[in-house]
Amino acid sequence: MRFCDPFEVPTDNFTSSVAVGDVVFRLLKNQLYACDMSKPKPIEHRVYGLEKEMKSSTWSRYKLFYIGNGKLCLTWLFDSEEHCDMTVIACLKFWVRMCNQECRLQAVIDRCDHYLANGGSISLDCFAM
């Protein structure tokens, strides 16, 4: 059986995907989408609620991780203004629910943590929380 990509959007170095059960979450161009792969014809759906946090960051590369118990972690890096030669790792923990009033998927933010790391050569591909 050939795998059919329900997102129908080409991936690049800025695309981050993670599977949680039957649902694949994909971050495309700073927007989060979800796709239930258990459906006969999977269709992607936009997940709302992260726009404010993502716009407040000047960093355009994000990584998405599944951290268990239905929670996801969106991470990004930025230079510390208070500590020279330090990088800040931001970790936004959230889960996704169906908002019945608006008939759309909504991210519910649990918390946002920041960690200081030595040096400016940290890559998003090389760290884990």
Residue 90 domain flag: yes
Whether 5 shows a pLDDT value over 60: the answer reads no
What pLDDT, on a 0 to 100 scale, did the predictor assign at position 51? 83
Residue 6 domain flag: no
Number of domains in the chain: 1
User: Model confidence over 68-79: pLDDT tens digits?
Assistant: 999 999 988 877
17, 64 in Cβ contact below 8 A?
Answer: yes
Cα(18)–Cα(87) distance, integer angstroms? 25
Range of the domain at 98: 16-122
User: Model confidence over 31-90: pLDDT tens digits?
Assistant: 899 998 998 888 889 999 988 877 666 655 688 999 999 999 998 887 777 877 788 888
CA distances (Å), origin 53, targets 56, 94, 101, 107, 120: 5, 12, 23, 11, 22
Residue 128 domain flag: no
Mean pLDDT rounded to a whole number for the chain: 79
Residue 1 domain flag: no
